[in-house]
């Protein structure tokens, strides 16, 4: 079986903006460089100043579907450009002008939700949805299978994965839990399955909830899981087209 990297993504601001990558150099016990490097607390969240925090404290697509439409581009100077089909683009250094980001997301955030309140930097271990430095690995065959069951093509951006693999059997990523794999010249340990939220129901093209992903996962397979979390154990470079294999 040949397993290959078909796409690489990162999300510079948690829940706000997807950024495709051609290649990335990774380090042990760290997320992808620049992935979830920033996040936006809502007004009901405690004013934590450091450390990992649970996803319910942040703006995210599960609560604000129009955030799923945002695309991102990280520039060499560290600034991030955000684009949304209904908004003028915003280029920002979140460390210097966080208010610009808060103002920009207000029209995309539901009025009945606690308002965007604070831009916070992620700790060195990152700000994924689990309290360890994770990289998410997703399986194109699982995506195709779920798409077929729903009768519609699902955009991979719904699932906000870092590394997409082609060549595994549907749901074969779950069999990798507890094993180590090499991807390009890097090595990763597969830690656990990813349990999904309502963000996956939303189209990144329209910002509308148009797919009963969670209902279908539960109905057909008895769970809400899609993809796996991994921890980087050996540094290296990962490029689109690289091979992946179980060690």
Q: Is residue 109 within 8 Å of 67, Cβ to Cβ?
A: yes
- In sequence order, the β-bridge partners of residue 38 are 13, 121
Residue 142: CB atoms within 10 A of its CB come to 23
Average pLDDT, the chain: 96
What CATH class is the domain 3-30+130-246? mainly beta
Q: The tokens 């210097």 sit on which residue? A: 96
247 residues of the chain, pLDDT tens digit each: 799 999 999 999 999 999 999 999 999 999 999 999 999 999 999 887 678 899 999 999 999 999 999 999 999 999 999 999 999 999 999 999 899 999 999 999 999 999 999 999 999 889 999 999 999 999 999 999 999 999 999 999 999 999 999 999 999 999 999 999 999 999 999 999 999 999 999 999 999 999 999 999 999 999 999 999 999 999 999 999 999 999 9
Burial class (CB in 10 A: 0-12, 13-18, 19+), 213: buried
Token pair in block for residue 168: 């595994």
Burial class (CB in 10 A: 0-12, 13-18, 19+), 177: middle
Domain ranges of the chain: 3-30+130-246, 38-121
Q: Which tens digits make up the pLDDT trace of 228-246?
A: 999 999 999 999 999 999 9
How far is residue 5's CA from residue 10's CA, in Å, rounded to a whole number?
14
Three-state secondary structure call for residue 103:
helix
Distance set, CA 65 to CA 1, 62, 203 (Å): 37, 6, 8
Q: Which tens digits make up the pLDDT trace of 9-52?
A: 999 999 999 999 999 999 999 999 999 999 999 999 988 767 88
């Amino acid at each position: 079986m040949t397993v290959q990297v078909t796409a690489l993504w990162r999300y510079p601001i948690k829940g706000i903006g997807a950024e495709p990558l051609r290649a990335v150099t990774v380090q042990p016990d760290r997320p992808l460089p620049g992935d979830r490097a920033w996040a936006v607390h809502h007004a009901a969240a405690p004013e934590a100043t450091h450390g990992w925090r649970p996803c319910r404290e942040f703006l995210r697509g599960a609560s604000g579907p129009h955030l799923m439409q945002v695309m991102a581009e990280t520039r060499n100077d560290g600034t991030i450009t955000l684009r949304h089909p209904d908004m003028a683009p915003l280029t920002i250094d979140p460390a210097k002008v966080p208010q610009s980001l808060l103002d920009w997301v207000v029209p995309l955030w539901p009025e009945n939700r606690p308002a965007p309140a604070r831009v916070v930097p992620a700790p060195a271990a990152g700000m994924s949805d689990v309290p360890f430095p994770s990289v998410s690995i997703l399986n194109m065959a699982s995506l195709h299978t779920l798409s077929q069951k729903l009768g519609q093509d699902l955009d991979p951006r719904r699932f906000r994965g870092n590394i997409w693999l082609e060549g595994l059997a549907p749901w074969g990523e779950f069999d990798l839990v507890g094993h180590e794999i090499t991807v390009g010249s890097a090595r990763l340990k597969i830690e656990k399955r990813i349990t999904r939220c309502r963000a996956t129901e939303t189209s990144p093209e329209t910002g509308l909830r148009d797919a009963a992903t969670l209902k279908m996962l539960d109905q057909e397979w008895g769970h809400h899981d899609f993809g796996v979390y991994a921890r980087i154990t050996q540094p290296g470079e990962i490029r689109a087209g690289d091979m992946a294999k179980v060690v």
